[in-house]
Chain A
């Protein structure tokens, strides 16, 4: 998004800037919603109000769902493309192939606002629907039918719902390119019924390194190997950071600050046992947390007790493409012990450690000052907001590129070098990748690794969400744990029968990198060659001391994901595409329940 459009984000248009939302006469519902990479009802990612999709569908929008799992939402879809995990790139390139070859293009938008269309058109010729059908495990007809629904006809529009499964894929940067290209060339960027293009965030979150000396910046781990993390995220590269922790090269790290993470649980790290061993070497580790977790138990020397949402003043915002259209006040309801909020702690420690940054860019000494400044961008005061509870914010409306609302210099166009949507990416090229999208088979899949496929015949996807929990959170809340009491491994009835597995059996999921135990759920929602494992599981009711650490290693599906299997630019790990074998756990090896 940043590369191709210079925008912070793109998102479904659920009219996030209006309190009337879908009843607002200024809003148009999309004719189709193309959903790839998320199930928004359960994940509500990045502040998206997921159930908005239900309201939109009630009003006639039709859903096209791309997912190796037919989730409940897919049963309400107009079309489902149940692809093999990791083959999204082939599908999207084939859709572009059909759109271009059948001339379902908004030529006016392309001519005026796109860069590199001819090159893209040439690139997609090799990705025919027949190629994609064979690759993805679906039919060429389905692909053509889908593409025609998304095609430009001067009248209909569709909106893109793109999710984290796109990121969790070594081919993910290319999949993103394709999805944005699909929206752009069919005239569906930032139009009513289309996909919202977010401008650079009004409520700043980055900038910490602006005040670092060049000498210090050049020490950021992984910036030379994968410069994209410098350009886009202002972080170190995680895989290379693990290597630094393990080897002491380029230099030893001495201290860890654990914030908003339970990384030893099967969530954000590949090979969490390695992270555990590496971080145990720290001289001093601080964590801020609400609940005791395996990560805190294992690693932290000091824990800063964190206030929950009810225990501090704050603002909550909707997020429609990083456009915070509606803000709601949280009024502190109670004080628990000495707990402090994230904001209090960050302001406190920020002022203590980063005198320059906090003096110039973020001159806030108190939470009140911060909230007042934030809320001031919405033409209201903190006192007013805490009384009236909700305020709206002008998020710019449609066709922002025509009105100079996307570019930092205020000129019409997109925040890219040519000022147009880059179908041919100057950014990707400068970072060492192909400027045009391409597909490669899953790096650990049967085609690339036939040596693994024989013994590990299933492609395992992870990360499908539950209503009852967010990643590794909420396992210790009795009413939520009751809703989803244990980790399920979804397996197709035919596959289960061959393996003698029934619903409720404890099963072992295994591959060369690790193993995990879950409870089998025999269900037709997955492809016969796919299993879907639950992530995030640990057991707060168990002994928390080492080595058990609340049973964090029992169902740790992230142990199955290899370290540093990435895309060319350094993004995209195979969280949703690891080869595994599954078997009913022998009685003497059972660890669950």
Chain B
């Protein structure tokens, strides 16, 4: 049975950081501890007139895939609160199919 992972579509992660706060609230983390943290890549002008700029929510060592929530029928709180609906979770096998369909600018994390 494959593990659960997080599929992130970073074409559309807007960097809103809602996942960070939802996770901290869920796990009662102090200010300087994150279960997931948005990384900003850019903006870099690698070619004139064009900006390379992505946001990526990056699960940390403290991500437990919201085990308690999931065991009572819920979904990970980052995925629930994501404003852009770019976080999906589930068995890696299923996520891999979706990654393939998405085709680009996506990543699967196994925290």
Contacts and interface: CB of A to CB of B under 8 A. Distances in A.
B51 A525 contact: yes
A73 B17 CA distance: 15
A41 interface: yes
A58 B13 CA distance: 12
A478 B31 contact: yes
Interface string B27-56: 000010000000000011100000111010
Contacts of B84: 51, 54
A525 B95 CA distance: 34
B16 A57 contact: no
Interface in A43-58: 51, 54-55, 57-58
Interface string B75-106: 00000000111000000000000000000000
Contact of B16 (A41, A478, A523): A41
Contacts of B83: 41, 51, 54
A54 B12 contact: yes
A587 interface: no
B4 interface: no
Interface in B11-28: 11-12, 14-18, 20-21, 24
B15 A58 contact: no
Contacts of B31: 478-479, 482
Interface residues of A, number: 22
A353 interface: no
Given A51-B84, A70-B43, A41 B51 contact: no
Interface residues of B, number: 21
A83 to B, nearest CB: 14
A410 to B, nearest CB: 40
B42 to A, nearest CB: 8
Contacts of B15: 72, 467
Contact of A51 (B14, B24, B51, B52): B14
Contact of A72 (B21, B53, B85): B53
Nearest to A51: B83
Most chain A CB within a 10 A radius of its CB, from B18, B20, B83 = B83
Contacts of B17: 467-468, 483
B98 to A, nearest CB: 13
Nearest to A493: B45
A65 to B, nearest CB: 12
Contacts of A51: 14, 16, 83-84
A75 B53 CA distance: 7
Interface of A: 41-42, 51, 54-55, 57-58, 70, 72-76, 467-468, 478-479, 482-483, 523-525
Interface of B: 11-12, 14-18, 20-21, 24, 31, 43-45, 51-53, 55, 83-85
Given A41-B16, A51-B14, A478-B31, 8 more contacts: A42-B16, A51-B84, A54-B85, A74-B51, A75-B52, A479-B24, A479-B31, A524-B45
